[in-house]
Amino acid sequence: MSLTIIPALFVLIALFNRKITTVASEVRDTEGRVYSLVQWAIASVKVVQAFTREEDEYHRFMGASRASLDATLKLYNWQDLLFRRRQRRHRRRHAIVIYAGGRAVMNGSLTIGQLIIFISYLAQLYVPVNQITQSWG
């Protein structure tokens, strides 16, 4: 019962991973544009100054920076949404295990000590699973 959540986690991550990959590519592209503008501006600072185009270059840089910031915030929002969904599933899983374990304790088929040990072992098992899902997501 406690391991049934793992396949659901991987399905959830696979669904989100498509969108996150697309948005992450957008972030890399917009950051690349910002770095290109900075490199060009540094390399041609004398030309820009000679033609008094500082204001134009400032506006170009700020526009590219805003686009990069917007793309980065969009990526963070998608990653945060994935994290919140994963956390919700973890809380549900814990609730189900505690409920089923509590019923087993009430029926006498499990002692409270066994339930506590099982829950602590389960928590240790989910640490690597959580790390894998975070890395993948």
Higher pLDDT, 137 or 52: 52
Residues 85-136 pLDDT 10s: 888 888 888 888 899 999 999 999 999 999 999 889 888 877 787 777 667 6
Q: Degrees (nearest 5) of the Cα angle 121, 116, 131?
A: 30
Instruction: Output the pLDDT for position 94.
Output: 83
Question: How many CB atoms neighbour CB 102 within 10 A?
Answer: 13
How many whole angstroms separate alpha carbon 113 and alpha carbon 118?
A: 9
Residue closest to 7 by CA, chosen among 120, 137, 129, 125 = 129
Structure tokens at 92: 């549900």
pLDDT in tens, 70-98: 999 999 999 899 888 888 888 888 888 89
